Amino acid sequence: MPSRRSRQRRPGDRVKTDPRDARKLARLHAGGLLEAITVPNEQVEALRDLVRAREDARIDRMRDRHRMSKFLPRHGLRMPNKSWGVTRRAWLGSLTFPCPGTVAGGRVRSIAVRPTGGSTCSST
Protein backbone atom coordinates (compact mmCIF):
# COMPACT_ATOMS: atom_id res chain seq x y z
CA MET A 1 0.00 0.00 0.00
CA PRO A 2 1.49 3.38 -0.92
CA SER A 3 2.01 5.96 1.79
CA ARG A 4 -0.29 8.96 1.93
CA ARG A 5 2.55 11.43 1.38
CA SER A 6 3.32 9.98 -2.04
CA ARG A 7 -0.29 10.40 -3.15
CA GLN A 8 -0.75 14.14 -2.54
CA ARG A 9 -2.95 15.97 -5.04
CA ARG A 10 -2.57 19.24 -6.86
CA PRO A 11 -5.41 21.80 -6.55
CA GLY A 12 -6.89 20.95 -9.97
CA ASP A 13 -6.63 17.20 -9.35
CA ARG A 14 -9.31 16.89 -6.68
CA VAL A 15 -11.92 14.93 -8.63
CA LYS A 16 -12.25 11.49 -7.04
CA THR A 17 -12.79 8.72 -9.55
CA ASP A 18 -11.39 5.19 -9.50
CA PRO A 19 -10.07 5.20 -13.11
CA ARG A 20 -8.29 8.52 -12.55
CA ASP A 21 -6.79 7.27 -9.27
CA ALA A 22 -5.68 4.02 -10.91
CA ARG A 23 -3.91 5.89 -13.73
CA LYS A 24 -2.20 8.20 -11.26
CA LEU A 25 -1.05 5.30 -9.05
CA ALA A 26 0.24 3.45 -12.13
CA ARG A 27 2.28 6.52 -13.19
CA LEU A 28 3.71 6.94 -9.69
CA HIS A 29 4.55 3.23 -9.44
CA ALA A 30 6.24 3.25 -12.84
CA GLY A 31 8.33 6.24 -11.74
CA GLY A 32 9.30 4.55 -8.48
CA LEU A 33 7.71 7.33 -6.42
CA LEU A 34 5.56 5.16 -4.14
CA GLU A 35 6.80 4.17 -0.71
CA ALA A 36 5.73 0.83 0.71
CA ILE A 37 4.17 0.79 4.16
CA THR A 38 3.34 -2.03 6.52
CA VAL A 39 0.25 -2.56 8.63
CA PRO A 40 1.27 -2.43 12.30
CA ASN A 41 0.94 -5.63 14.30
CA GLU A 42 -1.04 -5.85 17.56
CA GLN A 43 1.96 -5.05 19.75
CA VAL A 44 2.82 -1.88 17.83
CA GLU A 45 -0.82 -0.80 17.80
CA ALA A 46 -1.07 -1.42 21.57
CA LEU A 47 2.03 0.70 22.11
CA ARG A 48 0.55 3.48 19.98
CA ASP A 49 -2.67 3.32 22.02
CA LEU A 50 -0.62 3.59 25.21
CA VAL A 51 1.25 6.63 23.89
CA ARG A 52 -2.03 8.29 22.87
CA ALA A 53 -3.59 7.58 26.27
CA ARG A 54 -0.53 8.95 28.07
CA GLU A 55 -0.60 12.13 26.01
CA ASP A 56 -4.33 12.57 26.69
CA ALA A 57 -3.71 12.12 30.44
CA ARG A 58 -0.86 14.64 30.34
CA ILE A 59 -3.04 17.22 28.59
CA ASP A 60 -5.90 16.60 31.05
CA ARG A 61 -3.54 17.06 34.00
CA MET A 62 -2.23 20.31 32.51
CA ARG A 63 -5.79 21.61 32.00
CA ASP A 64 -6.74 20.68 35.57
CA ARG A 65 -3.67 22.40 36.99
CA HIS A 66 -4.42 25.53 34.99
CA ARG A 67 -8.04 25.42 36.11
CA MET A 68 -6.90 25.15 39.75
CA SER A 69 -4.48 28.06 39.36
CA LYS A 70 -7.41 30.21 38.20
CA PHE A 71 -9.99 28.82 40.64
CA LEU A 72 -8.09 29.30 43.91
CA PRO A 73 -7.34 33.06 43.58
CA ARG A 74 -11.06 33.69 43.01
CA HIS A 75 -11.59 32.31 46.52
CA GLY A 76 -8.71 34.26 48.08
CA LEU A 77 -6.26 31.36 48.19
CA ARG A 78 -2.63 31.29 47.06
CA MET A 79 -0.71 28.13 46.41
CA PRO A 80 2.25 27.63 48.77
CA ASN A 81 5.02 27.22 46.18
CA LYS A 82 5.65 27.29 42.45
CA SER A 83 6.07 23.59 41.68
CA TRP A 84 3.37 20.93 41.58
CA GLY A 85 5.18 18.68 44.02
CA VAL A 86 4.30 16.84 47.21
CA THR A 87 3.90 20.04 49.26
CA ARG A 88 1.35 21.56 46.91
CA ARG A 89 -0.59 18.32 46.52
CA ALA A 90 -0.72 17.92 50.31
CA TRP A 91 -1.89 21.52 50.68
CA LEU A 92 -4.59 21.03 48.04
CA GLY A 93 -5.66 17.82 49.76
CA SER A 94 -6.14 19.68 53.04
CA LEU A 95 -8.51 22.28 51.55
CA THR A 96 -12.26 22.02 51.97
CA PHE A 97 -14.93 23.93 50.11
CA PRO A 98 -18.62 24.11 50.89
CA CYS A 99 -20.21 22.11 48.08
CA PRO A 100 -23.33 24.25 47.46
CA GLY A 101 -21.40 27.55 47.25
CA THR A 102 -18.49 26.28 45.19
CA VAL A 103 -19.88 23.51 43.05
CA ALA A 104 -16.77 23.36 40.87
CA GLY A 105 -14.42 23.52 43.87
CA GLY A 106 -14.73 19.96 45.06
CA ARG A 107 -14.96 18.62 41.53
CA VAL A 108 -11.92 20.47 40.16
CA ARG A 109 -9.82 19.75 43.23
CA SER A 110 -10.69 16.07 43.19
CA ILE A 111 -9.66 15.85 39.53
CA ALA A 112 -6.39 17.72 40.08
CA VAL A 113 -5.39 15.98 43.30
CA ARG A 114 -7.00 12.55 43.04
CA PRO A 115 -7.16 11.26 39.45
CA THR A 116 -9.50 8.46 40.57
CA GLY A 117 -12.20 11.03 41.42
CA GLY A 118 -14.31 11.37 44.52
CA SER A 119 -15.25 14.75 45.93
CA THR A 120 -13.91 15.61 49.37
CA CYS A 121 -15.58 18.96 49.91
CA SER A 122 -17.34 19.46 53.22
CA SER A 123 -21.09 19.83 53.23
CA THR A 124 -22.59 22.69 55.25
* 2: β partners: 36
Listed by start position, the domains of the chain span 1-8+15-37, 42-113
Region 17-44 average pLDDT: 89
Per-residue pLDDT tens over the stretch 56-115: 999 999 998 898 888 888 888 888 888 888 888 888 888 777 655 554 545 544 544 444
Residue type, 42: E
Region 33-54 average pLDDT: 94
